[in-house]
Chain A
Amino acid sequence: MPDKDIRRFDANIRLFPPFIDNDICPLTINNTLLQSCYLRNTEWACGVAVYTGNETKLGMSSGVPEPKLTAMDAMIDKLTGAIFLFQLTVVVVLGSAGNVWKDTEAHKQWYVKYDYDEPWYQILVIPLRFELLCSIMIPISIKVSLDFVKSLYAKFIDWDEEMYDLENNTPAHAANTAISEDLGQVEYILTDKTGTLTENKMIFRKCCVGDTFYGNECGDALRDVELLNAIANGSPHVIKFLTVMTLCNTVIPIKSPSGSILYKAQSQDEDALVNAAANLHMVLVSKNGNNAEIHFNRRMIQYEILDILEFTSDRKRMSVVVLDCQSGKIILLSKGADEAILPCAYSGRQTKTFLDAVDKYAQLGLRTLCFGWRELESEEYTEWSRSFKEANSALNDREWKVAEVCEKLEHSLEILGVSAIEDRLQGGVPETIEILRQSGINFWMLTGDKQSTAIQIALLCNLISSEPKGQLLYINGRTEDEVARSLERVLRTMRITSSEPKELAFVVDGWALEIILTHYTEAFTELAVLSKTALCCRVTPSQKAQLVKLLKSCDYRTLAIGDGGNDVRMIQQADIGVGISGREGLQAARAADYSIGKFRFLKRLILVHGRYSYNRTAFLSQYSFYKSLLICFIQILFSFLSGIAGTSLFNSVSLMAYNVFYTSIPVLTTILDKDLSEKTVMQNPEILLYCQAGRLLNPSTFAGWFGRSLYHAIVIFLITIHAYANEKSEMEELSMVALSGSIWLQAFVVTLEMNSFTFVQLLAIWGNCIAFYVINFFISSIPSSGMYTIMFRLCRQPSYWISLVLISGVGMGPVLALKYFRYTYRPSAINILQKAERSRGPMYTLVNLESQLRSDKGNMMVPISTTPVKNKSSVYEPLLSDSPMASRRPLASSSFDIFQPTHSRTSHPRNIKAN
């Protein structure tokens, strides 16, 4: 049956005569070419189309993605709803008032010639006319404008050179153009570790072979003289160790024309191991089908790879069965996580050295792998091989059956040693996290890695602080009760200390999380609300997604960032998904709303692009309501002077042009508005709070705009009808005076609300005013139009210009005074920073200054490696001493105390973490 899991394909093939070998052969995903794959390194491929069209894996997994709605859009929708209710009220009130007026007054007005015996439905006419008049109250143009600016926000992200990853030549990309504002409102960031915070560029650093630790002194085993000597002397342990490094993988060597060998590995760990082995003179030269060729100290060794016992996230290890072509021995080579390999050691073997090694390496933030070796009897292998093939051909539960069979072979291993691979922190990660945390964003790290590694990485990248500034709380336990008690205790601590200026964080592992998510969701939700930081270790992709869902259900806006296929679900679940187009492929980047090249770009994405987008949209949307309400209020006021009959003061052409043209163009230039320079925002990331809390678009700011539009409508209306009273009160003239007044006022309002003016804005705002006159002159010169000669006539009248200046003065004076008063005496943080920014330099802040400062800031971000930071000397102690290992011996090499029983460090190819 077709399914959408691209990591699985269970089938069999049987070739019928004339083929001789007509056994059932298992087919797996390795034999499958997925849709839109490119063939590389081969001339041809022979295949059968299994599924086509919508039954392909691609077709199956391309579900209808849930359209994401930003919090801002939701707010705009809410406000639209409120305006709609207001509109209905107006229609009902004025409609019935109009009907009353008609019955009492209009029947006396003989010139209106109302019939006394009208059909009943005439009662609906006046309300419907008001509905028509008020229909522009909800600006249709807002949707168009928003779509336009949103696509530009996205373009700005695409274009941004400061988010261009020079290393991999990838620009940032906004796949979802509709949710840029949400970036400015992020409250929780859920981040993956490997490949996201770290570079996912594995470097073999240390190893422990037999009882000897290599690479401790110089920090690089490849340059450790001792190890090189051991290799030269042919120490059997070391050679076995190297053999596992070279063979126990799925790496494909490719000989380049120049003679050097390149390795194609699916997992960064394997790549690192094979390369390290090559550097240690054990070179994997070629792999042709089942034959592997190894050069070791100028000797050629041939192996035949008999079986590969693949890695799965449940097994956490992989093995290879090889046949040594010279000696004819069949050997099992295993590598995997410590907890997956060490229990398989042959009985009687002391594994304490290795446990210690794993412990030690994990504390340094290194990824560890244990290597095992066993010689097989040929009978044992033959027997096992049959059952393995059987399991591999199974159509049901294949994965489980294979795992069971593999288990049978992987025992009584001779443990060879432990390798430690460094995964360096990406450049700028600690700074980025620091700034984002300062801006009030809470960070959760969700990783498939083990607890101690996660904590080390978290410490290194500023995610958690060590004692006494910070405190780490543990939720663990194997059973439901233990977890419940642990959770309760953490929660209590959290409640007590929430008032203290202490950075609390909690750590939970996948097992406990599973129990919590099924049984104690409520308590955990409370904890999630209280806690700013959390580390979740050993979590599966679906748990990641569940956590995102949980935070979302508390009405937090979440951003999930990750790089691998295991993050896809979390990325899709979150309000905003950010993918890092990194070494684990583009799976995450493709599923995400935004893809960036490096984690540190997240800072700019949120603080610069998100914040500006939010501010701009806040202004744009409220302004759109303002201008629509303005014209509506004028119409409503006019209806009181026109017998509440629903006469439109403005002609239809003006109304249309007002909404579509005169008032839409200038405000669109808000996309260039910057309230604060990027530099100031970066220096004061706390300012993001205004966006997070939605301070710029909420019912109360909207009420301000509503009041402003009402005030402006009254000003325009009163001045117009008084200045154009008596002999001047001609309909078309008066309507144009009112319209001109609205245009003038809106130009001033846009000017007042903008913070920075580029020539585009000045051009749009004042060019629009000129365009207004040009257009109306044009219309006024068409004899058949109702407005014929009106505009020329008006522009010749001094009273027209006098009225407009008066409208502008009266309309803007109080608004300006109020804004000034707020700005100076009740300043928001934004205002203060604006003032600081502007008083620092000349009024004309030139951009090159800004960019210069920006480049300075860029220099600050020196990449930091994962080696422990020396100045962090404070001892890290847990508050709860429930952990038996709480007071372990401090390690000389590390300044951090370790508080948890550190088992080992798993890392395995691809980090697949199947869900």
Chain B
Amino acid sequence: MEEASTSASGGRAFPRARSGLYYRFTQQNLPAWKPAMTSGCLIAMFLIIGVAFVPFGLVCLHASNHVAEIIHRYDVDCIPNGYKGNKQAYIKDSSISKNCTQEVKVLNHMKAPIYVYYELENFYQNHRRYVKSRSDKQLRYGEYTGTSCSPVEWDNGHPIVPCGLIAWSLFNDTYSFTCGSKEIKVNRKNISWKSDREHKFGKDVYPSNFQNGSLIGGGKLDPAVPLSEQEDLIVWMRTAALPKFRKLYGVIEEDLQVEETITILITNNYNTYGFGGKKSIVLSTTTWLGGKNDFLGYAYLVTGSLSIFMSILFALIHVKNPRPPGDPNCLSWNRKNSSS
């Protein structure tokens, strides 16, 4: 009875082919590379990392230092003296002229193209409620379904185009630059991503019912211009990941000389006073590494030097306290045996 019933494990042909990768795999016997972590190997590794990182950090730093940058914060300076105590009243009162003139000095020679950014600080474009409040479909095709734009969706039953908090809070300060009496031209074309203009914002989608509500957020849009050409909006809609961010305003396509004084005429429309946000205007050149950012350079320098330090430390320990590789006598049970 027992012999008669089927074998528990099932018959398998044996022996099978005793070669081939599959066979080796079944026997857990694939050729394997077993790297050994030797002291020399590791010290060399840290040393190489260090030797590679430090010069590279210097290169990065050099690139970053090469960038000429002017940052000018204007949100406080642009408030007329009478409103210093009540900034909100000033910014909300549309009857007061928001024009404001600031002067900055060029400290280093700036080669064209010079990028003009506005910088906002303490502005949470990454807030969940904010970042979700948009409709990509509407921006592209003009239709809006769903509720993703809440709470800025409808104006008395008419759909708002573009809807959502991001569009509603469009940044609307404007800048113009003069150097002496000569006006510096700022190119405001092509400041957004080409891919956005072509594939994310519709050519035949026009703003409608925008900023019609009782509560006006940010800037207005020209209803005659399709969204794909509303470059300020397109730039703004690329939400920033951090509460301090810069967005491109335009490009100055002429060099700025050292010691030149540039007058910036600002229309200070955008309300950052309610939440203590900072507004700055930034003029910056660029290099292969991007704008001025010392972080990568310093990080590489520090990592590289620490790495060299570690390799020296390990080398010292190794020299003072050499360990023969793999002495089975060190095994606890072997030690026990020899002592007993």
Contact = CB atoms under 8 A, between A and B. Distances in A.
Interface of A: 34, 36-38, 40, 105-106, 108-115, 129, 155-156, 158-162, 164, 166, 169-173, 175, 501, 581, 585-587, 589-590, 595, 612, 638, 641-643, 645-649, 672, 674, 684, 686, 719, 721-731, 733-735, 755-760, 783-784, 786, 788-789, 793, 797-799, 802-803, 806, 809-810, 813, 816-817, 819-820, 823-825, 827, 829, 832-840, 843-847, 850-851
| A interface majority secondary structure | helix
B290 A727 contact: yes
Nearest to A839: B325
A726 B3 CA distance: 78
Given A672-B30, A834-B326, A838-B36, A813 B242 contact: no
B228 interface: no
A114 B33 contact: no
A869 B147 CA distance: 87
A612 B28 contact: yes
Contacts of B323: 824-825
A835 B36 contact: yes
B241 A726 contact: no
A724 B4 CA distance: 73
Contact of B195 (A173, A585, A645, A789): A789
Contacts of A175: 8
Contacts of A648: 128
Given A108-B275, A789-B195, A645 B127 contact: yes
A845 B8 CA distance: 37
A847 B29 contact: yes
Contacts of A832: 326-328, 330-331
Given A109-B124, A721-B242, A837-B326, A809 B35 contact: no
B224 interface: no
Nearest to A126: B128
B127 A642 contact: yes
Interface string B120-136: 00011111111100001
Contacts of B53: 809
B238 to A, nearest CB: 5
A810 B199 CA distance: 38
A214 to B, nearest CB: 33
Listed from nearest, the 6 A-B pairs whose CB atoms lie closest are A835-B326, A836-B326, A585-B2, A173-B9, A38-B4, A111-B169
A785 to B, nearest CB: 10
Contacts of A161: 14-15, 27
Given A109-B127, A727-B291, A833 B328 contact: yes
Interface in B1-60: 1-5, 7-12, 14-15, 24-37, 39, 42, 45-46, 49, 53, 56, 60
A678 to B, nearest CB: 8
Nearest to A820: B42
B60 A802 contact: yes
A730 B240 contact: yes
B289 interface: yes
Contact of A833 (B1, B115, B326): B326
B106 interface: no
Nearest to B140: A784
| Candidate in A115, A587, A824, A851 with the most chain B CB atoms within 10 angstroms | A824
Given A646-B128, A806-B303, A641 B243 contact: yes
Given A728-B291, A834-B36, 17 more contacts: A37-B5, A113-B129, A113-B165, A115-B151, A160-B28, A161-B27, A173-B10, A642-B126, A645-B124, A647-B126, A725-B242, A726-B117, A727-B245, A729-B245, A731-B239, A793-B193, A825-B317
Contacts of A585: 2-3
A7 to B, nearest CB: 12
Contacts of A757: 32-35
A786 B242 CA distance: 18
A838 B127 contact: no
Contacts of A646: 128
Nearest to A591: B8
Contact of A595 (B9, B45, B117): B9
Given A110-B274, A173-B8, A725-B242, A829 B331 contact: yes
A798 B129 CA distance: 33
B152 interface: yes
B244 A725 contact: yes
Nearest to A114: B129
B289 A726 contact: no
Nearest to B238: A730
B83 interface: no
Nearest to A683: B328
Nearest to A837: B326
25 contacts: A34-B1, A37-B4, A38-B4, A110-B271, A112-B127, A112-B130, A113-B168, A172-B9, A173-B9, A642-B128, A645-B124, A645-B129, A727-B284, A727-B290, A729-B242, A730-B239, A757-B35, A758-B32, A758-B33, A783-B199, A809-B307, A810-B299, A817-B314, A835-B325, A837-B34
